[in-house]
Amino acid sequence: MKLSVVAFPSKKLQDLANTYRKRYDSHYAKITPYITLKEAFEADESQLADISNKIKSIAEKYGPLKIHASKISSFFPTTNVIYFKIELTEQLQNIHNDLYHEIDIGKPKHVFIPHITIGRDLTETEHDDIYPQLRMIGINEKEEIDRIHLIYQLEDGSWTTYETYKLTGAL
Amino acid sequence: MKLSVVAFPSKKLQDLANTYRKRYDSHYAKITPYITLKEAFEADESQLADISNKIKSIAEKYGPLKIHASKISSFFPTTNVIYFKIELTEQLQNIHNDLYHEIDIGKPKHVFIPHITIGRDLTETEHDDIYPQLRMIGINEKEEIDRIHLIYQLEDGSWTTYETYKLTGAL
């Protein structure tokens, strides 16, 4: 099965992201707005308990994630993904590293750029039309996220939460 | 915010339900297939921690939910909802009662009929067309669900998991 580790921002920030995703994100109906901490990876159902325990240990090391959605940006020309940029902090980088190090399945495909996707699978014309507008509107939201989620994907591409882990540590 | 307590069945059963929901359930994109244990109720964000603690206590009383999806049924003529019927057990009735008793918000609107919705918002003609076919196909799946979820609704109607609770008790 396909798994991933994510942080869901506050309802307020999810609602805001969805006002854009509804129109611009092809995955809008598959999952509510999220920040990926470990990209989707394949694992056998028999490994779930072990993976879950490892995430639990990591979550016990870190305190609530301090996030700052600072601007609207794009991965163009790599992909036509438009996103809320989350400022990279030492805390986010460390928890990301720990997740890859401890759950030794799947290597990072990209440098870690924490973000909330708001547009995806746009044509180049759509992207070039929408992106400058969104960039101008921008975003500036700070908040704390006190838990992370292990999620799994169904055959239709949608995601269900397997477990939540409270961030109860000091880091 | 709007909250609810649900159990997500196995990936296998969710995938099966989605093959129908994709076509017949208007809420298909809002949430993955689920069994409602406490219907949606309004609560203030400040009550979340308290509600969560109460669910945690209940989850510690009960063991994994033994469920049997035994047939495809319909709430017609009350509503045009088609569903996998989950056989009512003492365990399911008790956990449902506890959730209503402990979280003293919102009374049950209906008798508790555990189910997984696979069709909704159908016209009467659609319902009468589809239901006999589905009833004939039927379902017969038994499984154990070892956790329950507190979920909250976003403004667009979709649901995010707030927390998962493992069923670690003996009942």
**DSSP symbols for A77-117:** TT---EEEEEPP-HHHHHHHHHHHHHS-SS--SS----EEE
Judged against a pLDDT cut of 90, whether residue B61 lies above it is answered with yes
Amino acid at residue number B128: D
User: Is A171 within a domain?
Assistant: no
Helix locations, chain B, DSSP H: 11-24, 48-61, 90-102, 124-137
Best residue of B19, B32, B144 to probe chain A, by most A CBs closer than 10 Å: B32
DSSP conformational letter for B29:
T
Candidates B14, B18, B154; nearest CB to A11: B154
Give the per-residue pLDDT at A17: 97
Average pLDDT for B101-109? 84
Calpha distance B114→B92 (Å, rounded):
8
Query: Is any Cβ of chain A less than 8 angstroms from the Cβ of B171?
Result: no
Q: What is the pLDDT of residues A156-170, one digit of tens each?
A: 999 999 999 999 999
Within-domain flag for B146: yes
Residue whose C-alpha is closest to residue B68's, from B22, B35, B98, B38: B35
What integer pLDDT is reported at residue B12 of this predicted model? 96
Q: Sign of dihedral through CA atoms A60, A61, A66, A71?
A: negative
Question: Helices A90-102 & A48-61, crossing angle to 10 degrees?
Answer: 150
Residue linked to tokens 């298909």: B28
* A22–B155 C-beta distance less than 8 A: no
> CA triplet B55, B57, B61: central angle to 5 degrees?
110
Whether chain B has a CB inside 8 Å of the CB on A62: the answer is: no
Sequence-ordered list of residues with C-beta below 8 angstroms from that of B65, at least 6 positions apart, any chain: B7, B91, B92, B95, B144, B145, B146, B148, B167
Residue of B nearest to A160 (CA): B32
Is there a domain that residue B171 lies in? no
The domain spanning residue B9 has which CATH number? 3.90.1140.10
Give pLDDT tens digits for A68-101.
Answer: 999 999 999 999 999 999 999 999 999 999 999 9
Whole-number pLDDT of residue A110: 83
Provide the pLDDT for residue A156. Answer: 95
Which residue from B8, B29, B152 is facing A160, i.e. has the nearest CB?
Answer: B8
Residue-level pLDDT at A133: 95
pLDDT reading at B145 higher than 80: yes
Number of independent structural domains in chain A: 1
Catalytic residue among A96, A115, A127, A149: A115
B27, B96, B110, B115: the catalytic one is: B115
Residues of B in contact with A15 (CB under 8 A): 154-156
As a whole number of angstroms, the distance between CA B69 and CA B168 comes to 22
Rounded mean pLDDT, B18-47: 95
Which range marks the domain in which residue A28 is found? 2-166
CA angle B80, B158, B117 (to 5 degrees): 30
Burial class (CB in 10 A: 0-12, 13-18, 19+), B124: exposed
Q: Helix H segments across A40-83?
A: 48-61
Q: For B64-86, what is the mean pLDDT?
A: 96
- Any domain includes B62: yes
Report, as an integer, the average pLDDT of A2-19: 97
Q: Å from A3 to nearest chain B CA?
A: 12
Whether pTM exceeds 0.80: yes
Do residues B114 and B25 make contact, with C-beta atoms less than 8 angstroms apart? no
Per residue in A99-143, pLDDT (tens digit) is 999 998 877 788 999 999 999 999 999 999 999 999 999 999 999
A76 lies in some domain: yes
Residue B65 located in a structural domain: yes
Average pLDDT over residues A51-61: 97
pLDDT of residue A129: 94
Q: What is the pLDDT of residues A20-32, one digit of tens each?
A: 999 999 999 999 9
Active site residue A115: yes
Burial A21-54 (b: 16+ CB within 10 A, else e): beebbeebbebbbbbbbbbebebeeeebeebeeb
Nearest to A8 among B28, B147, B160 (CB): B160
The predicted structure's pLDDT at residue A53: 96
Inform me whether the C-beta atom of residue B165 falls under 8 Å from chain A C-beta atoms: no
Domain annotation covers residue B161 = yes
Whole-angstrom CA distances from A99 to A92, A102, A103, A147, B84 are 11, 5, 6, 14, 37
Question: Does pLDDT of B124 surpass 80?
Answer: yes
Backbone angles phi, psi at B82, to 5 degrees: -105, 140
Residue B22 pLDDT exceeds 80: yes
Pick from B164, B47, B107: nearest CA to A147: B164
Q: Is the per-residue pLDDT at B63 higher than 90? A: yes
Q: How far apart, in whole angstroms, are the C-alpha atoms of residue B59 and residue B122?
A: 35
Which pLDDT does position A106 carry in this prediction? 75
pLDDT at B112 over 90: yes
